[in-house]
Chains A and B, each alone.
Chain A
Amino acid sequence: MVSEALIVHEPTASRFPVGRIAGWLLLAAILLAFPAFSGAYFVFMATLVAINVIATIGLNITVGYAGLLSIGHSAFIGVGAYTGALMAIHLGTPLIVNVAGGAAAAFLVGLVFGAPSLRIKGIYLAIATLAAQYSLSFVFQQWTAVTGGDRGLSVPRVDVFGFGETGFYYVVVALAALLCLAARNLFRTRIGRAFIALRERDYAAQVLGINVVRYKLLAFALGSAYAGAAGALTAMFLRIVNPDQFTLAASVFFLAAVVVGGQASILGSILGAAFMTLMPEILRAVLELWGPGGTADVAGFLSPLREFIFGALIVGFLVFEPRGLAGLIQRLVGRSNN
């Protein structure tokens, strides 16, 4: 497990942190202006990254902070996606209500599937979370009257403030920022400390007055709620929900995002989600640019090559920086400070 200090420390100095505030304002300005100087494709990708950031933070709360290994995360994203889509279709509720509904539904389902974590941990728990993955996938596929079966659901178009895709981008980015902040705040209080205590020694946690049962379920359900919010956003964004989106491979995708980004790190969740979402696209662009042009043979060769490089990059991170991209950044910042 990660052994560095994982909690954000409030600087005790009372002076106004001018540099930090300027940095945040600059970041906000860049995110705000981004759609103005980039094309529809980039806005699309940025929205996807922001949605995946939300889901990755959720998994990082469960796996990275609380130490409950889950490989069923995409099933909870699915619960949020179907809930959000059904609300949009049948109730016609606004986007933000659908997202809250998706999160709430995933929270409740997470409570149920989090129950095995009370008795088992590590790889055993991971296998138990497969139950969530498969049983929920089964529901998505077979409950045709509600979920539309394999064909899935198509979701009505959401037009935020009449800005279309750009408006959606703003909503998702703002929501991702808020949820990042909420997660960070959580780890400044007793709730976050209790999660970390569970991960490291749950017997000692009990002696400190931490209700281990409640906090394990909470860590699991909270991670699911983030997944549910991301799921509802995905549904409203792609305007289609079907069982193929919520497979084991998708769960592994988010687990990789947590590990590549850095376990028990909010910054790591952001970087990991961005890496996993964008790297295949970047590799595609690079290979098309540099690769020999055109014939079908070459194209047939490039696609597996892309997957191979992607895989090699992930392995590289595991070997050379076990603390992930967040650890890499910390090291670079630390070096420049010295």
Chain B
Amino acid sequence: MPDLMMIDRVSLAFGGIAALSEVSVAVAEGRVTAIIGPNGAGKTSLFNVISGFYRARAGAVTFAGKDILALPGYVRSKLGIARTFQNVALFDGMSVLENIKLGAHAQLGANVFSAGIYLFWEQREEHDLTRRIERDVLAFLDLTDVSDRPIGGLPYGLQKRVELARALVMRPRLLMLDEPFAGMNTPEKVRMANTIRRCVTEWGTTVLLIDHDMEMVMGLSDHVVVLNFGRLIAAGEPDAVRRHSGVIDAYLGAA
């Protein structure tokens, strides 16, 4: 498989403190790549460099042949990079459906005038989007029954699925998941893992994920990358990483 995204010797510092030191990761297309490591290892920082929240001090990130670090964050998402957040970043004031619709923002064409008039074209666009979400996303993630409910008050596991739905509605080439299993019970975790697997097998989505749950990560991933104190200490297939002595010292041994 060719690499969809190449993270090449990325370094990031806050003040004088190095958060990432020359981290390189190859994200293979159509595979699940996982980043693991203890708290503070720089996993989410790496995600934030890719999303454009942090500016890398050095290094490059190439997505589908384009250097994306020079692009504004919202343009990166238009290239087909979607993500979820560690602490679910949904919009409480909106319903489940409205939240999911936000994921399709860049694919829609409404401008201020056409939106204000809201006849013919815009009505059709909203209608089509609603149908598409109902058909492809709500059913896939089993959210049909809650689509009109406001986000506030929904159980946490369900909110995680809504956030995944919002990321999937744009049919991303790369799906970045920041701790998709956090705060879930075992059946919810298994269900989430199955959903992620189906994204890969049925839609050909490439997945890059962060999580602490070793069992889930090892079972789900094709490729595992281990960070510790902002440095890459191991990378390879799950079984190889599991046996790597540095990893056992830094992370697994501590558990």
Q: Which residues of A contact B (CB under 8 A)?
A: 1-7, 9, 182-183, 185-186, 188-194, 196-197, 199-201, 203-212, 218, 222, 264
Q: Which residues of B contact A (CB under 8 A)?
A: 51-53, 72-74, 77-78, 82-83, 85, 89-95, 98, 101-106, 108, 110-112, 115-118, 122, 125-126, 148, 150, 152, 166, 170
Residue from B53, B105, B110, B152 within 8 A of A208 (CB atoms): B105
A109–B91 alpha-carbon span in the complex (Å): 30
Distance in angstroms from A330 CB to nearest chain B CB is 13
Q: How many A-B residue pairs have CB under 8 A?
A: 115
- With A3-B152, A189-B126 as contacts: A204 and B85 at CB distance below 8 Å: yes
- With A200-B91, A264-B93 as contacts: A193 and B105 at CB distance below 8 Å: yes
A247–B241 alpha-carbon span in the complex (Å): 67
A10–B78 alpha-carbon span in the complex (Å): 28
Residue from A183, A199, A207, A222 within 8 A of B83 (CB atoms): A207
Q: Do A191 and B112 have beta carbons less than 8 Å apart?
A: yes
A206–B77 alpha-carbon span in the complex (Å): 8
Residue from A2, A4, A183, A197 within 8 A of B116 (CB atoms): A183
Q: Do B105 and A7 have beta carbons less than 8 Å apart?
A: no
- With A182-B116, A185-B117, A203-B53 as contacts: A209 and B170 at CB distance below 8 Å: yes
A208 surroundings in chain B (CB, below 8 A): 74, 77, 102-103, 105-106, 166, 170
- The contact sample of 19 A-B pairs, CB cut-off 8 A, is A2-B93, A3-B92, A3-B150, A5-B95, A6-B94, A7-B95, A185-B116, A189-B115, A189-B122, A190-B115, A203-B89, A204-B85, A204-B91, A207-B51, A207-B83, A210-B74, A211-B74, A212-B74, A218-B112
Q: Do A189 and B73 have beta carbons less than 8 Å apart?
A: no
Distance in angstroms from A318 CB to nearest chain B CB is 19
Q: Do B105 and A186 have beta carbons less than 8 Å apart?
A: no
B106 surroundings in chain A (CB, below 8 A): 208-210
Distance in angstroms from A63 CB to nearest chain B CB is 14
The DSSP consensus for interface residues of chain A is: helix
A205 surroundings in chain B (CB, below 8 A): 102
Q: Do A188 and B118 have beta carbons less than 8 Å apart?
A: yes
Given contacts A209-B78, A211-B74, 11 further A-B pairs with CB under 8 A are A3-B93, A5-B150, A6-B94, A7-B98, A188-B122, A197-B91, A207-B82, A208-B74, A208-B103, A209-B74, A211-B72
Closest to A203 in B: B53
A4–B95 alpha-carbon span in the complex (Å): 9
A9 surroundings in chain B (CB, below 8 A): 95, 148
A1 surroundings in chain B (CB, below 8 A): 93
Residue from A5, A188, A203, A222 within 8 A of B93 (CB atoms): A5
Q: Which of A6, A7, A9, A209 has the most CB of B within 10 A?
A: A209
Residue from B89, B98, B105, B116 within 8 A of A210 (CB atoms): B105
Q: Do B150 and A4 have beta carbons less than 8 Å apart?
A: yes
B74 surroundings in chain A (CB, below 8 A): 206, 208-212
A7–B95 alpha-carbon span in the complex (Å): 8
Distance in angstroms from B85 CB to nearest chain A CB is 7
Q: Do B94 and A189 have beta carbons less than 8 Å apart?
A: no
A4 surroundings in chain B (CB, below 8 A): 93, 150
Q: Do A207 and B73 have beta carbons less than 8 Å apart?
A: yes
B150 surroundings in chain A (CB, below 8 A): 3-5
Q: Do B94 and A193 have beta carbons less than 8 Å apart?
A: yes
- With A190-B110, A209-B105 as contacts: A200 and B93 at CB distance below 8 Å: yes
Q: Do B116 and A209 have beta carbons less than 8 Å apart?
A: no
Q: Do B112 and A186 have beta carbons less than 8 Å apart?
A: yes
A204–B102 alpha-carbon span in the complex (Å): 10
Q: Do A206 and B93 have beta carbons less than 8 Å apart?
A: no
Distance in angstroms from B47 CB to nearest chain A CB is 10
Residue from A188, A191, A196 within 8 A of B94 (CB atoms): A196
Q: Do B91 and A201 have beta carbons less than 8 Å apart?
A: yes
